[in-house]
Chain A
């Protein structure tokens, strides 16, 4: 059973609009969350992270929201650009030091339409 779920395999958004990628997790011990982006034929690249002591973290056009009680996090991209088209992975870890316990979600493929 997957501990980190991304229930939308794909998402299409018009350029300039908001993209919202969702992630749910089942393990209440997860305390640190990360988002990665992956282009075809390239390895994943780190995007943004959030610790459970926060409910929001922002970096430019990217904002991650965490709702611990609902075991849910989301990544907002505003405004969406065609270059954002990629697969986005959510990942979770029991702590900021549990490098060997990071669990990844299956990914959501985002297409931003010009």
Chain B
């Protein structure tokens, strides 16, 4: 248990559905991240938020829309996804954006998304 929770843990959705993934941390961290891990592909950073402000969008398609209403919560809104978007979506948090380098980035367990 890292202190980063994600809901739901599993999600199956059709291509026309709209759904949201939720991430929550009460570690007092200021940076939050969304990562995508597709089968047999490396982990990919999607979005970074620092103090609720988005600092990075690694060329992610607009059908993925992040939202960070406060420093404890991060959402990933999904709409009109494609089957190739099926993957494990991981949320992480750290005290600041450099925490990834100092053993201070904590990951949630992920949401396993299947797009039919």
Contacts and interface: CB of A to CB of B under 8 A. Distances in A.
Interface of A: 2, 4, 32, 34, 41-46, 49, 89, 91, 93, 96-97, 99-100, 102-107
Interface of B: 2, 4, 40-45, 48, 55-56, 58, 90-92, 97-98, 100-101, 103-110
B98 A97 contact: yes
Contacts of B43: 44, 89, 91, 104
Nearest to A95: B101
A93 B42 contact: no
Main secondary structure of the interface of A (DSSP, over half): mixed
A46 B98 CA distance: 13
Nearest to B94: A99
Given A96-B101, A100-B55, A107 B107 contact: no
